[in-house]
Structure 1
Amino acid sequence: MNLDSIVMEMIAFDKGDAKRIQHFMKVHAFAALIGREEKIPSDVQETLEIAAILHDIGIHAAEEKYHSTAGVYQEKEGPLPAKHLLKKIGYSSPVIERVCYLIGHHHTYQNVDGMDYQILLESDFLVNAFEDKVSQNGILAFRQNVFRTKTGIHLLNQFYGLASA
């Protein structure tokens, strides 16, 4: 894995935006942890971690074009710059395609088609719930409707002192 190169590229991409840099670093840390705890295959772990680092790469373009950071715009604007960055670093087409798919769906909670996708959703929510001060009811609803991994559910319960579902 060449994750350090991706992290450094993404920090340069988000230069001057400490909030966004802190966000993707936290999402990546949770994604890496959940993936390891869930014992996903190494190739899926790599794809997950790359997607976690790059998941919000479209947010600046979304703000510029749509004056919004809404998930739908992040999903629309993120795959292209991610593709360029990963090609520059030298990743293979299958990895690039999957990462771009994940970036293009990281706010879409239906038809989740893999552990990389599932863990990315959970990791992003773990960070967003705190950063956006999501209500207890919102957290419970998200746990019920979106969380599927044992580790993700455990972390969410621990963070917010929730009883097991």
Structure 2
Amino acid sequence: MTEIQKNINNVLTKMIVYSDGNKHDIAHFLKVYSYARMIGEMENLTERQQETLEIAAVIHDIACPVCREKYGDTNGSNQEKESPELVENFLKDVEIDTEMKSRINYLVSHHHTYTNVDGIDYRILLEADFLVNADESEMSEAAILTARERVFKTNTGKKLLTSIYKLPAEEA
């Protein structure tokens, strides 16, 4: 096992503990992580981009417990507001450099913002989270088709979305 994979496994374990037995939250981030990892690999991210993406995918919903307690829901804008400090504290003892920690914090703190997407890691995190959220929230086919047009930019993400949700092929 590589040092990067050990690091990611440590983050996965730490996030499972952080989730304090909330099986829905654990299942959710594991699914998002799985899709993000696959899309990143299929889209040929650099090793550094891949590690950044995978860690961000694992902790992307770190603010959900705080939001449930503080606001009574997990609204995306509240998650983004509460995330920065939580991510910073969570990553303190994770063996990655300051620049990567900063990028992960940015990704987690913007994972409900679909505008000004400034990198493939950000794009893939949005796609992976949408793949899971569309199912968990039982989104309509029309909403999923709109997301395919507006959100999905990677070939792998589009292929997964189209296959999972049995969408009609994209028009050329």
* TM-score, length of structure 2 as denominator length: 0.93
Deviations 1:76-123 (A, max 9, x none): 112212211211123211011000000110000000000000000000
Partner Cα distance (1:51, 1:79) in 2:
12
Paired position in structure 1 for 2:143: 138
CA contact (8 A) 2:141 2:167 kept: no
Q: Are 1:153 and 2:158 an aligned pair?
A: yes
Paired position in structure 2 for 1:31: 36
- State the 1:63 CA deviation: 1.3
- State the 1:66 CA deviation: 1.4
Q: CA RMSD in A?
A: 0.8
Partner Cα distance (1:26, 1:66) in 2:
25
Structure 1, unmatched stretches of 5+, are: none
Moved over 6 A (4+): none
Q: Are 1:104 and 2:112 an aligned pair?
A: no
Partner Cα distance (2:94, 2:115) in 1:
31
**What does 1:109-128 correspond to in 2, within 5 Å?**
109-128=114-133
Paired position in structure 1 for 2:167: 162
Question: Share of identical aligned residues, percent?
Answer: 45
More off after superposition, 93-102 vs 74-83: 74-83
Paired position in structure 1 for 2:86: 81
Partner Cα distance (2:167, 2:72) in 1:
36
Q: Are 1:20 and 2:29 an aligned pair?
A: no
CA contact (8 A) 2:84 2:105 kept: yes
Partner Cα distance (2:66, 2:36) in 1:
24
Paired position in structure 2 for 1:56: 61
More off after superposition, 29-38 vs 61-70: 61-70
Q: Secondary structure at the match of 1:107?
A: coil
More off after superposition, 19-28 vs 80-89: 80-89
Structure 2, unmatched stretches of 5+, are: none
